[in-house]
A and B are shown apart, each in its own frame.
Chain A
């Protein structure tokens, strides 16, 4: 197992180097830089601009810049933001954490929703419930999540209108914008966590819809296949109860593609979370990435690309390792 992990880790290095190189080349597509506005301004002396160019290495050819950037990256330094003159690491940390909250919570939701639904649909094949699950999962796959988020916001507003009329209750059921309440600073640590969780529920659910729908369908198909296989017949013949047959014998092997699937699903989850972040004003990566691109703050953009690439690769690795641990048919030699 250890050698397998080490080999996988070594395997990541060339991919990571390639990804940073690609990201850097793309970032060089625009020859202008953050000094453009300064150059046009008559108040800034040319010497100042030259000094800044030297300071940031902008006068060097791109591969020298790349080398310097990679050198500092190896020391855990992502460079300085042109715009705010702060280390990129500081600027990038919070948004990445916030996006991670969404992605991790949506993976949890995905499991919590997809597993019972898939088992339900498989054990009652062709029943009304199965067909409803089938139709709903088709819808879940097709609805764009930014549209779904807007629909939920509209629904919650209308619900508030209704409860105000009927019960005089003038609050939204769940918050639909931002990550924290106004009185966040006064809350206890547990209160803070609960507050963030309350805010994260809707965006995480919306992010997870497509994944839930896809997984429900996969799990249903897997369960149906296993439920009609020989070892299940043996289990039934031994006199095992249906519950034990379903959950202990059929569900376990059927879950294996789930574990493998998480890694493949991560890019979609990150992308989906990105659009939801914009709709629901969640302070994650995407809104700040968009802002830094429009300011041509290249090192911040690169910082986001590098960190998210790294996280995605780690996610894939973890998913592979879990799969290796869970599936006895996989040998890691």
Chain B
């Protein structure tokens, strides 16, 4: 693995021996990364997972543009929109009976005389065509948190509204909120994995390299962390750290804004997840440390830092990449679960997918009347599935025994 960067180029100045010139100029050695990439490309499910993931991340990035409504936009005016079922998009023009420009009808809320449930009835007197690239100056958004924009991909004129996936108990558009929610749920996993990586590499590296009582201490601490059930630790930490009176918050003068809650969740998730990574890095280092090239570097007088950074860590790289990729779906599940029980980022200006799914369980709701509130579960499922596919593909791609 560590040999990849040391291939000798055929036309380097030293070998001007005519015999060597006749060897083919095409480089015969391939780097580890390019072999892995070639192998990865041959696994269809992994590539498909990767493509879907890229799509999801792009959609979350452009959520403001793709979503017809703002994250917390709802109307207090009539017509009410609470628990509005997904708006029907009509493709057939009723006058001509032919497919035409898609349009929607405005809806009125009525009570079902038997079940007393609120039902929405289409008012077919006026058609509202779906418009593209609509400007909505009253509801601007910031693209990537920087550029203020008011252009939306699509929308309809009031009083009609377009709720592709229905609305929740406050009449907020589920489709828009799922797009915004991706910004939280898709990034938290990736950020938490970096925290985990940092802790795992640092402590796993120290334990594996120095051994002795340092090793013993670190491994004991990981055992202690593992001994407490993760969910309970997650619940307790994220509740207590959120409290503005806790000593950490008071020392640093923090008052948890939603961005800080977000970062707090990232650190808590990363803190709970680093143990396994550290343990495996340590065991790899313990075996690699005895390999000839590490011993040779030591004999040549290389410093400890140099041996760790240049010889030992690269040996763990492929393993680390794979286990990080496979850790991300776990973090996504943990974050959505935490949000689902109401301990994730707050509702004020974020919308994690778990938080959206929580709407389906609030008091007095019978799911069979509002099944569309379960839609936010689908992107969680998709994201986790695709990260798993990509991770499995990477693992096989790095594994020489599974080359195709």
Contact in complex: B388, A142 (CB < 8 Å): yes
Contact in complex: B224, A15 (CB < 8 Å): yes
Contact in complex: B377, A144 (CB < 8 Å): yes
Q: At the interface, yes or no: A309 with Cβ under 8 Å from chain B?
A: yes
Contact in complex: A139, B385 (CB < 8 Å): yes
A267 neighbours in B (Cβ, 8 Å): 226, 229-231
Q: At the interface, yes or no: B245 with Cβ under 8 Å from chain A?
A: yes
Q: At the interface, yes or no: A26 with Cβ under 8 Å from chain B?
A: yes
A18 neighbours in B (Cβ, 8 Å): 220-221, 223-224, 227
A-contacting residues, B216-237, CB 8 Å: 220-221, 223-233, 235-237
Contact in complex: A144, B245 (CB < 8 Å): no
B-contacting residues, A132-191, CB 8 Å: 138-139, 141-144, 146-147, 150-151, 153-154, 157-158, 161
Q: At the interface, yes or no: B340 with Cβ under 8 Å from chain A?
A: yes
- What does the 1/0 interface line of A8-25 toward B look like (CB < 8 Å)? 000000111011001100
Q: At the interface, yes or no: A30 with Cβ under 8 Å from chain B?
A: yes
Contact in complex: A23, B228 (CB < 8 Å): yes
User: What is the minimal beta-carbon distance from B320 to any residue of chain A, in angstroms?
Assistant: 20
User: What is the minimal beta-carbon distance from A301 to any residue of chain B, in angstroms?
Assistant: 6
Known contacts being A138-B385, A271-B229, is A19 close to B240, with CB within 8 Å?
A: no
Number of A-B contacts (CB under 8 A): 143
Q: At the interface, yes or no: B243 with Cβ under 8 Å from chain A?
A: yes
Contact in complex: A144, B381 (CB < 8 Å): yes
Looking at the complex, which one of A22, A32, A308 makes contact with B225 (CB distance below 8 Å)? A22
Contact in complex: A289, B232 (CB < 8 Å): yes
A141 neighbours in B (Cβ, 8 Å): 384-385, 388
Q: At the interface, yes or no: A330 with Cβ under 8 Å from chain B?
A: no
Q: Which of A47-55, A69-77, A274-282 contacts B (4 or more CB under 8 A)?
A: A274-282
Known contacts being A15-B220, A27-B236, is A309 close to B336, with CB within 8 Å?
A: no
Q: At the interface, yes or no: A313 with Cβ under 8 Å from chain B?
A: yes
Q: At the interface, yes or no: B162 with Cβ under 8 Å from chain A?
A: no
- What does the 1/0 interface line of A250-287 toward B look like (CB < 8 Å)? 00000000000000000100110011001100000110
Closest to B225 in A: A22
Closest to B371 in A: A154
Q: At the interface, yes or no: A305 with Cβ under 8 Å from chain B?
A: yes
How many positions in chain A have a CB within 8 Å of any CB in the partner chain? 48
Contact in complex: B232, A16 (CB < 8 Å): no
Q: At the interface, yes or no: A38 with Cβ under 8 Å from chain B?
A: no
Q: At the interface, yes or no: B329 with Cβ under 8 Å from chain A?
A: yes
Majority secondary structure of chain B interface residues (helix, strand, loop or mixed) = helix
User: What is the minimal beta-carbon distance from A283 to any residue of chain B, in angstroms?
Assistant: 16
A271 neighbours in B (Cβ, 8 Å): 229-231, 337
Q: At the interface, yes or no: B247 with Cβ under 8 Å from chain A?
A: yes
Q: At the interface, yes or no: B170 with Cβ under 8 Å from chain A?
A: no
Looking at the complex, which one of B232, B247, B374 makes contact with A29 (CB distance below 8 Å)? B247
A143 neighbours in B (Cβ, 8 Å): 381, 384
B368 neighbours in A (Cβ, 8 Å): 154, 157-158, 161
Closest to A149 in B: B361
A293 neighbours in B (Cβ, 8 Å): 235-236, 239-240
Bound: A208/B352 CA distance, A: 25
Bound: A14/B243 CA distance, A: 31
A84 neighbours in B (Cβ, 8 Å): none
Looking at the complex, which one of A14, A150, A270 makes contact with B374 (CB distance below 8 Å)? A150
Bound: A16/B336 CA distance, A: 30
Interface centre among A30, A142, A270, A293 (most CB of B within 10 A): A142
Contact in complex: A27, B224 (CB < 8 Å): no
- What does the 1/0 interface line of A21-48 toward B look like (CB < 8 Å)? 0110011011110000000000000000
A150 neighbours in B (Cβ, 8 Å): 357, 360-361, 367, 374, 377
Contact in complex: A154, B227 (CB < 8 Å): no
How many positions in chain B have a CB within 8 Å of any CB in the partner chain? 47
Closest to B380 in A: A144
Contact in complex: A144, B333 (CB < 8 Å): yes
Bound: A141/B382 CA distance, A: 11
Closest to A28 in B: B247
Bound: A309/B360 CA distance, A: 32
Q: At the interface, yes or no: A312 with Cβ under 8 Å from chain B?
A: yes
B229 neighbours in A (Cβ, 8 Å): 267, 270-271, 308-309, 312
User: What is the minimal beta-carbon distance from A65 to any residue of chain B, in angstroms?
Assistant: 15
Q: At the interface, yes or no: A82 with Cβ under 8 Å from chain B?
A: no
Bound: A314/B245 CA distance, A: 36
Looking at the complex, which one of B341, B360, B367 makes contact with A157 (CB distance below 8 Å)? B367
Contact in complex: B224, A285 (CB < 8 Å): no
Looking at the complex, which one of B235, B247, B333 makes contact with A31 (CB distance below 8 Å)? B247
Known contacts being A18-B221, A147-B357, A154-B374, is A31 close to B246, with CB within 8 Å?
A: yes
- What does the 1/0 interface line of B135-178 toward A look like (CB < 8 Å)? 00000000000000000000000000000000000000000000
Contact in complex: A270, B231 (CB < 8 Å): yes
Interface centre among A16, A23, A158, A294 (most CB of B within 10 A): A23
A147 neighbours in B (Cβ, 8 Å): 357, 374, 377, 380-381
Bound: A313/B226 CA distance, A: 9
Contact in complex: B367, A138 (CB < 8 Å): no
A226 neighbours in B (Cβ, 8 Å): none
Contact in complex: A305, B245 (CB < 8 Å): no
User: Could you list some 8 contacts between A and B, CB below 8 A?
Assistant: A18-B224, A138-B389, A144-B337, A147-B380, A279-B361, A286-B232, A305-B236, A309-B228
Which 4 A-B pairs give the minimum distances between C-beta atoms? A147-B377, A271-B231, A142-B385, A18-B224
Starting from the known contacts A29-B240, A279-B361, A290-B235, 9 additional A-B residue pairs (CB-CB under 8 Å) come to A22-B225, A30-B243, A31-B246, A141-B388, A142-B388, A143-B381, A270-B232, A275-B340, A278-B361
